[in-house]
Amino acid sequence: MERHTESSASPGPVRTCVGCRGRDAKSELVRVTAVVDATGRTAIVPDLGGAAPGRGAHLHPDPACYELAVRRRAFTRALRLTALPPEGPTSTQVRDRIDQLARQQDQQHHSTP
């Protein structure tokens, strides 16, 4: 697994990934928040705009960081939830977004000469 470390050349605020605990520029991380849906269930969703109200947690766009965060129950702690939401269609949005970003980064690395 690749260990993420703080990039000294990255301007702007620095945040800590709840998965690997590596520090990086806020712009390099995906922000996730907890929302309550119409049925009253809590779900963890990506905050694509990065400015949703309430607590947020940050995560590298790396499936390994997502898996570490789930295994460590980091979302529950970082978002101050009483329990981790059950996996469901809305809870998997974070995993889907992380996978999508990882594929895009992989394609960019392979297309660069």
Q: How far is CA 79 from CA 7, 18, 43, 108, in A?
A: 25, 10, 11, 32
Q: Which residues contact 105 (CB under 8 A, 6 or more apart)?
A: 61
Mapped onto helix, strand or coil, the DSSP state of residue 65 is helix
Structure-block tokens of residue 35: 């929302």
pLDDT digit string, tens, across residues 9-68 = 557 899 999 999 999 999 999 999 998 878 888 888 999 888 899 899 999 999 999 999
Tell me the pLDDT band of 7, cut-offs 50, 70 and 90: low
Q: Which residue has the higher pLDDT, 112 or 11?
A: 11
- Cβ 1 vs Cβ 64: under 8 Å: yes
> What pTM does this model have?
0.78
For residue 42, the cross-strand partners are 36
Whether the pLDDT of residue 91 is over 90: the answer is no
Tell me the pLDDT band of 107, cut-offs 50, 70 and 90: confident
Tell me the pLDDT band of 106, cut-offs 50, 70 and 90: confident
Q: Which residues contact 31 (CB under 8 A, 6 or more apart)?
A: 46, 47, 50, 52, 56, 57, 58, 59
For residue 43, the cross-strand partners are 35
Tell me the pLDDT band of 89, cut-offs 50, 70 and 90: very low
Structure-block tokens of residue 22: 């590596």
Domains along the chain with CATH numbers = 14-111 (3.30.1230.10)
- Rounded to 5°, the CA angle 43-102-24 comes to 80
